[in-house]
Chain A
Amino acid sequence: MAKQTFDIKNHLLVPKHTKVSDKEKKLILEKYSLSVFDLPLIKKNDPAIKDLDLKPGDVVKIVRKSATAGESIFYRSVINV
């Protein structure tokens, strides 16, 4: 059978991941009075952020599709494996 290549970003289950700028990151951490690794974590080699070129300590903004809120924003900080 013929093959295709599939970009996982187009999958229904995968929400949009973007890198958070340093300025914005500071604001987020101040707002919730957290240090970076108190946020929920995401692995550096997670398929959804593979081509964002992130290093540990960066924060990823995730725009989830939510059944209750329509759209909800979530943050995760990047860790080494």
Chain B
Amino acid sequence: MADIFKEYEGKLPQKILTDLKQFMPAKASQTKIKQICEQVVKEYNESKADPGECIGNISAESIGEPGTQMTLNTFHFAGVAEMNVTVGLPRIIEILDGRKELKTPSMEIYLKKPHSQGTDIKKLALSIKETTLDDITSEFQINIVDLSVEIMLDKQIMKDAGITNTIVANALKKYTKGYNLKQQDDSFVIKSKSKDANLNDLYKIKEKLKPVHLKGIKGVTQVLPVKRDNEYLIITAGSNLKDVLKLDVVDASRTVTNNIYEIADLFGIEAARQSIINEVFGVIENQGLNVDIRHIMLVADTMCNSGIVKGITRYGIVSQKSSVLAKASFETPLKHIINSALIGEVDPLDSVVENVMINQPVPIGTGLPSLVTKIKK
């Protein structure tokens, strides 16, 4: 039986083949199996999109119609401490436009055992969260008479975050060149070494010190341990996948971010494509809508065609169109027409929009094939 299936390996997708093997009656004879397989191949070939079928249009309609039913709001994360996630239509637009700055960047950090079973999960989550000087400071005081800045530290917060005075002192050293750093019991005093220091400089150094990184992963502003399918993982607000993957408690093979560009930089264009599919499909599924995943695959393939992620905007994939008229019909028509007039661009009129514009048959479906004469030499 296995020999017969081997014959069909190039002709049918792997999934259909495994289904065939699974559901084939055990008593079926060789000829019957062969007949069934032939029929499946026939059906499969008939279900393929025909050459010239406008699949892009079908995808646009299929994603666009359910899109009208999607929510326009961002939601609070299951009622837990102020964590927001962009969902629904705004998120879809964000992904398909290929935005680099996301509204709510976020990571899903999977952990290795035993932490995935809940050991030390809270401590671990807190150690990933970024702590800056501003977070552990109760007050910044500027002493006008002494011309010094005093940083009052909150002992309780420091203890919770596991930060000692030495860590703070080491971190501050880098940023306070030209200043004297004096450590007192629960405060640091910064004073300029030069005599002609003025108040302006003090303000500047104060503002400069506020975001000094003390502990955790840069960019991660919030952490939330959650349980999903008998496993604990950490969801974060703020994304820095590169640094998270370096931690040895993290199961790096499954940890992901929702920032497509970060994925593309770290894992390459194919991973970015898969990530676009996962993200868009996730949103649509989350909203209780039903869109065939093939439509999303088509969009993702188009966005990743040129080796880098390009959004569906006039700066992204639309700018790659060969036709001037097609580009002009999308957005900012005057700009496109003037630019191509300046360099004497020629429109070959071999796509859809430009032919609609000048009232000609469009090259889709039965309009696609044309007659070519073969000239004998």
Contacts and interface: CB of A to CB of B under 8 A. Distances in A.
A6 B254 CA distance: 12
* Band of interface residues on B: 35 or more
B269 A43 contact: yes
A19 interface: no
B267 A48 contact: yes
Contact of B253 (A12, A40, A66, A74): A12
DSSP class of B's interface residues: helix, strand, loop or mixed? helix
Interface in B259-293: 263, 265-271, 274-275, 278, 293
Contact of A3 (B246, B256, B278, B307): B246
Give the one of B17, B250, B252 with max A CB within 10 A.
B252
A48 B271 contact: yes
A4 B306 contact: no
Contacts of A6: 245-246, 252-253
A72 interface: yes
A60 to B, nearest CB: 9
Nearest to A50: B268
Contact of A13 (B15, B250, B263, B304): B263
Contact of A71 (B14, B247, B293): B14
A79 B306 CA distance: 9
Contacts of B307: 40-43, 46, 76, 79
Given A40-B301, A69-B14, A71-B14, 17 more contacts: A1-B247, A1-B248, A4-B247, A11-B254, A11-B271, A12-B253, A15-B274, A40-B304, A40-B306, A41-B305, A42-B269, A43-B307, A47-B265, A64-B274, A67-B293, A68-B294, A71-B15
Contact of A8 (B266, B294, B297): B266
B304 A3 contact: no
Interface of B: 13-18, 127, 245-250, 252-254, 256, 263, 265-271, 274-275, 278, 293-294, 297, 301, 304-308
Interface in A45-81: 46-49, 62, 64, 66-72, 74, 76, 79
